[in-house]
Amino acid sequence: MSLVIVATLALSSACSANDTPAADAAPPTSVANAQSVAAPGGARIVVQGVDVTDYGHDIGKVGAPIVIVELSDFGCVYCAKHALETLPALETEFVETGKVFYKHIPFIIGMFPNSDRAARAAECAGEQDRFWAMHDSVFTRQKDWKKGSDADGLFRSIARGVVADEASWSSCYDARRVDQRTTAASALAARLGVRATPTFFINGQMVEGALPLDVMRQGLNAMLANPAAP
């Protein structure tokens, strides 16, 4: 199945800050707009002419035939669904086998309570190379920290079970040492025209919304079988 078709279907599984109808969605970009580009010092990841190499967190080999860049908000229920139900299988089937390079960029779309704190908690864990473990834990407890009155306390409790140096994590969290990463990511999302979460750029094609695993698997396998197809 072409991801061009899937891009329209996916909009029903996205968190959006506005009520723009799917018919007005931005058209898919060309494959050349999301790619690994050879450069001095190593390959760069470019989306719509914007170098996103230094944003977010990566898994996989940069030279993989498919590059997926995800922009996600920790407060979005569909982002949680993708992170906990779909991404683990994609990692096993496509990332670990060298078929997909995956970049996850957390940002704030501006509609979820405590989302900024969630991003801070994960980014601070990233200072200890524990971003992905915190990513999973924060998404798993999403309902609790979105509704709870003590989100900071909950994130401290989560971090206690994730990071090796809790004091260092707390110092990072209290000082908001990593907030500039999230601010920069939010500016990047605006520059790329992201208006819903999750939003993916899959070899240049913008897909808004979480795709079911079977649909994403079918689309990626079709791209691998016929890399010249749109």
Q: What is the pLDDT of residues 140-163, one digit of tens each?
A: 999 999 998 899 999 999 999 999
Residue 139: half-sphere exposure toward Cβ, Cα within 13 Å? 22
Domain borders along the chain are 3-225
What is the pLDDT, as a whole number, of residue 102? 98
What is the pLDDT, as a whole number, of residue 34? 52
Query: Is 51 within 8 Å of 44 (Cβ atoms)?
Result: yes
What is the pLDDT, as a whole number, of residue 12? 54
- pTM for the full predicted model: 0.86
| pLDDT tens digit sequence for 127-137 | 999 999 999 99
Q: Quick one: 3-225 is in which CATH superfamily?
A: Glutaredoxin (3.40.30.10)
Say whether 101 sits in a helix, a strand or coil. Answer: strand
Query: What is the chain's length?
Result: 230
180 pLDDT more than 80: yes
Dihedral sign, Cα of residue 222, residue 224, residue 229, residue 230:
positive
What is the pLDDT, as a whole number, of residue 42? 62
21 pLDDT more than 80: no
Distance CA(188)–CA(202), nearest Å, equals: 17
29 pLDDT more than 70: no
Average pLDDT value for the chain: 87
Query: Is 158 within 8 Å of 99 (Cβ atoms)?
Result: no
The residue type found at 220 is L
| pLDDT tens digit sequence for 45-90 | 999 999 999 999 999 998 999 999 999 999 999 999 999 999 999 9
**What does the block give as tokens for 23?**
């018919």
| pLDDT tens digit sequence for 95-121 | 999 999 999 999 999 999 999 999 999
